[in-house]
Amino acid sequence: MGFISQGTLNTEPDDNFISMTPGVQLPPEGAEDEMIAGDGMGQQYNTPTKLIGDAGSDIIIVGRGILKAGAPRAEAERYRRRAWKAYLVRTGQRT
């Protein structure tokens, strides 16, 4: 089916593996262009745009970004929208 990885592992034309990537973080609302820092414990974060758009991941795995939010449901929706937008751009369905 696929792998937990930092990007796609599909290297052959017939490869069809799903790549699921943890370590996703969004900057605060309205600060979309800011860099995302690590957590001081070695965790390095990437945005959905970088992981899905640049690294070729198919699914993002979000933990603390949602669980520690003041409004977890709204934050989960924000992650979903950003990941879907990155996927549409990567597949040429949106610019």
Question: Is 64 labeled as ligand-binding?
Answer: yes
Domains of the chain, by residue range, sit at 2-28+42-90
- List 2's β-bridge partners, or say none: 18
pTM, 2 dp: 0.82
* Strand, helix or coil for residue 50: helix
List per-residue pLDDT tens for the chain, 95 residues long: 999 999 999 999 999 999 999 989 998 776 665 556 666 666 667 999 999 999 999 999 999 999 999 999 999 999 999 999 999 999 999 87
